[in-house]
Structure 1
Amino acid sequence: MNFIRPEAQAVFLRWREALIGILVVVLGLYWTTGTGLLQWVGGVVAIGGAILTFTGLQRARFRVGNGGVGVVTVDEGEISYFGPFNGGTVSIRELNMLSLDPTSTPPVWVLSQPGQADLYIPVNAEGTDQLFDAFAALSGIRTDHLLTALNKGADDVVVIWAKRPRALH
């Protein structure tokens, strides 16, 4: 017997890290009202909770839903997508451009790697929440730009990140 409506459960799952972070902040602030060492520990816990809340908010904004076609996995520096019409694998280290194509239905992430065909991953494919950490690991990526492009909608392809060429010495 399930006491929580599926819609409410989906909201809690989407925002889970942020909600846990808020609870940790509250616990840390409560501990700061104590005395001695507990005050310092409470302060550290509250700061940790604030960081967890911030990253939880970013992850929640990245999750746009599930139930799309295909499955995404991220394992040992490789992003794999296998869907009914296409699929493939891209090395995160070899990635040279990440784009979002909102003109497709549903919108798709476009991952470009030299010498390979672009990999198109629907934003609502199963397992896309793993992509946030993979994308955040790209050198110089602006996650705020990524989240804005994903949530605000655009009329054309948006380049989220492109690898900078190394300077010759």
Structure 2
Amino acid sequence: MNLIRPELAEGLRRWSEVLASLALSGFGLWTLQSYDRFIQILGAAIIVTGLGLALLAWRRLRFQRDTEAPGIVQVVEGQISYFGPETGGFVGLGQVVELHLVDHGTAWRLVTPEEELSIPVAAQGADALFDAFAQLPGLRMSDVLTALDHPQPTRVLWLHASRRPTRLAKS
């Protein structure tokens, strides 16, 4: 017998990282009541840390999709693996030269010099791609989240420095 409705339990599970970070900040606020200056400084540091973690957790939460898509995504030691019902593949994060959001925001396309790998945004385990994409140099995760919130037919999110167009010098 469950004491909490399943949909409420699922919502708490999704928001657990944000709630835990805010609880940490709440503990920091509580420590500010101390008369000891060192404890107050420590409390202020705990508040800042908790709020920073809450912001990161909120961004991860925005990255997750509510819908289900076929396939399983794994990210292990810089290798992104996608096991789908009809397609799949492996891509080393260091080999990726382009990152696209395609099909009106329903799939990621990772391009390497040798191949392309399409991964549904809502595939099981796709939330692990947040940390993987954050390692791409020059990629702003706020741009990725904006692209997910406002889908377009195809959107280039990131290009490796070797793929970026160079500016023409004025003569």
Please tell me whether the aligned partners of residues 74 and 128 of structure 2 are also in contact (alpha carbons under 8 angstroms): yes
Match of 2:30 in 1: 30
Aligned-partner Cα distance in 1 for 2:3–2:127 = 26
Please tell me whether the aligned partners of residues 104 and 151 of structure 2 are also in contact (alpha carbons under 8 angstroms): no
Q: Which has the larger radius of gyration?
A: 2
Question: Is 1:3 equivalent to 2:3 in the alignment?
Answer: yes
Match of 1:163 in 2: 160
> 1:15 aligns to what SS in structure 2?
helix
TM-score by length of 1: 0.90
Deviations 1:57-89 (A, max 9, x none): 100000113632110000011000010010000
Match of 2:42 in 1: 41
Please tell me whether the aligned partners of residues 66 and 124 of structure 1 are also in contact (alpha carbons under 8 angstroms): yes
Aligned-partner Cα distance in 1 for 2:9–2:108 = 27
Match of 2:120 in 1: 122
> 1:80 aligns to what SS in structure 2?
strand
Matches within 5 A, 1:1-150: 1-36=1-36, 37-65=38-66, 67-103=68-104, 107-116=106-115, 118-150=116-148
Structure 2 gaps of 5+ residues are 164-171
The AA in structure 1 aligned to 2:35 is T
Please tell me whether the aligned partners of residues 67 and 125 of structure 1 are also in contact (alpha carbons under 8 angstroms): yes
Aligned-partner Cα distance in 1 for 2:107–2:28 = 40
TM-score by length of 2: 0.89
> 1:140 aligns to what SS in structure 2?
coil
RMSD: 1.6
Please tell me whether the aligned partners of residues 25 and 50 of structure 2 are also in contact (alpha carbons under 8 angstroms): yes
CA drift at 1:103: 3.3
Percentage of identical aligned residues: 38
Structure 1 gaps of 5+ residues are none
Aligned-partner Cα distance in 1 for 2:147–2:107 = 12
Aligned-partner Cα distance in 2 for 1:48–1:76 = 26
Aligned-partner Cα distance in 1 for 2:46–2:16 = 18
Aligned-partner Cα distance in 2 for 1:66–1:126 = 10
